[in-house]
Amino acid sequence: MKPIKDLELGYADAENYKRRENKALLNRVFIRDTHLDDLCKPNISFLIGEKGTGKTAYSIFLSNNDYKNTISSIRYVRETEYQKFISLKREKHLSLSDFSSIWKVILYLLIAKQVQDREGVVSQLLNYTKFAALNAAIDEYYLSAFSPEIIQALSFVQESKLAAELLHKHAALKSEDKSSIAFSESRFQINLFYIQKQFEDAFSQIRLAQNHVLFIDGIDIRPSSIPYEEYLECIKGLANAVWEINNDFLPSIKGGKGRMRVVLLIRPDIFESIGLQNQNTKIRDNAVFLDWRTEYNAHRNSQLFEVVDHMLGVQQDSQTAKGAAWDYYFPWDSPNVYEKYSTPTSFINFLRWSYYRPRDIVTMLELLKSNTNGDQAKTSFSLTDFENPHFQREYSNYLLGEVKDHLSFYYGAEHYEIFLKFFEYLSGKDSFSYELYTAAFNKLQEHIRSVASDRPKFMATPNDFLQFLFDLNVICYIENTEDNKPFIHWCFRDRSYANISPKVKTGVEYQVFYGLAKALNVGKEFKKKRV
């Protein structure tokens, strides 16, 4: 086995795999699993998963590779795009349905560019007059330099009068439209509908050899400059556009082996916020839900263990048996494991300190490697390495950063500081009763009044904040079963297709997530009981 210094542990942020020099690494360590195969199915419109569960990694792998006759690309929504949407809304007095119409045109532009680029200029595709006219109009608009990014597509929408006129001109040149149509700046919605119709007419002619998937990423983090309500409105329009395109129009195209589709990458809490009709059905039938949960007694057969063991195993000079690479680098047993195993149980420690997300495990590996203090000959990690206070503090700070990113979707930086303040009133406790919780909450309210800060919405009532902490996976709640054994509820473990937003229970016992305790300065004397 390779020494630790030679291990490539990948990247916690999968966007790094877009870089040319990192594509080979992703291809080597990535497991072609059922999630990947499901994403290639024609009914999928959403890729749903908590932050760090691998949404971006799956989309980037597919965009880097032609897989199962499927060509993919990925586009990111950034702050500039949201700013343009807001300015458009104010200029044109737009509604939610208008947002959806704008997104449809943007998505059509991106799909058209992908099809043109990947199917080939000399393909039969361009022999279709309507598509040829569409392509000529787009080329003229962008001076034959169209870069298939969302921001460039937005400019096409913003100049809807010019875009519609160009589409009409080229349709007339191809004898596809002989009617005389007047376009004006004041008829934004009508112009937009005309553009949409031209795309749909052209797409209806397409006979594709391969499937095409367009992934849309980047909506999980709200830029601080964009108000939440306007941000959510934009995302709602995007989600509705994706759903309508995938279900109302693209399936109606007949002929050819290939199909076109858009897939939106989205967190479960945000998916719930956008309020699509028949939400549970859409999750079950039209989404891939990234779920890495496992039980301690079954962890060796879990997808999460397989992913990490595979990443270590493929780097060796010869093929390794399942679990052999992990057991070589982590040849120790996790404390307080009461099941009997024939193999080391070290991975259970990683589960205890993680939210069962690939990013958490990879981050732990990276931090452990960086804490080897330059020991070039080190070949494995010990329990002592894992229990090193410096490593645990670094990892705890990473988890708190993840919480901050999650919270920033809904609230500002000042609210994050108030959120942190709450834990000062727990008097160092990492487990507490409902009574102790409410007492700490009341002290926090006094603090907010003393500094004249506005009370955040997530702190409207004690139970609102309790639910918020549960949603963030900062706390779990503990119930006793009939045989008086504790049953522990985590939001990420209770979440399912049928229960996308699990609810916390009041009047019971609670515990701060084990991995967050150091960063939140609670649990100075850690309890022996593991969660």
Mark 383-394 as b/e (b = at least 16 C-beta within 10 Å): eebbeeeebbeb
250-256, long-range: CB < 8 A, 24+ apart: 250/203, 251/42, 252/204, 253/203, 253/204, 253/206, 255/207, 256/206, 256/207, 256/208, 256/209
444 Cβ contact partners less than 8 Å away, ≥ 6 residues apart = 418, 421, 422, 425, 459
Where do the structural domains in the chain lie, given as residue ranges?
31-289, 296-520
> Whose CA is closest to 60, among 46, 74, 42?
74
Q: Are 323 and 300 in contact (CB under 8 A)?
A: yes
Whole-angstrom distance, CA of residue 211 vs CA of residue 390: 49
3-state secondary structure of 355: coil
Question: Can you give the pLDDT at residue 505?
Answer: 97
> Whose CA is closest to 153, among 108, 194, 190, 217?
108
> Whose CA is closest to 125, among 260, 263, 261, 262?
260
Q: What is the mean pLDDT of each run of 10 residues along the chain (531 residues)?
A: 90 81 88 94 95 94 94 94 90 88 96 84 58 90 91 94 95 80 90 95 88 95 88 94 95 88 95 85 90 94 96 94 97 93 96 96 95 86 96 96 89 88 93 97 92 81 96 95 88 88 96 94 57 43
**Token reading at 488:** 């522990």
Whole-angstrom distance, CA of residue 133 vs CA of residue 202: 8
Residues in the chain, how many? 531
Whole-angstrom distance, CA of residue 311 vs CA of residue 305: 10
Question: Can you give the pLDDT at residue 421?
Answer: 92
Q: How far is CA 273 from the centre of its chain?
A: 15
Containing H/E element for 383? helix 383-386
Strand-strand pairing, 70-76 and 211-217: parallel
Q: Are 1 and 352 in contact (CB under 8 A)?
A: no
Query: Residue 392 pairs with which residues in a beta bridge?
Result: none
Whole-angstrom distance, CA of residue 438 vs CA of residue 124: 68
242 Cβ contact partners less than 8 Å away, ≥ 6 residues apart = 45, 46, 103, 107, 216, 262, 263, 264
Please give the angle made by the CA atoms of 243, 247 and 252, to the nearest 5 degrees: 145
Cα–Cα distances (Å) from 529 to 210, 252, 431, 438, 526, in that order, read 54, 57, 11, 24, 9
> SS3 string of 266-323?
ECHHHHHHHCCCCHHHHHHHHEEECCCCCCHHHHHHCHHHHHHHHHHHCCCCCCCCCC
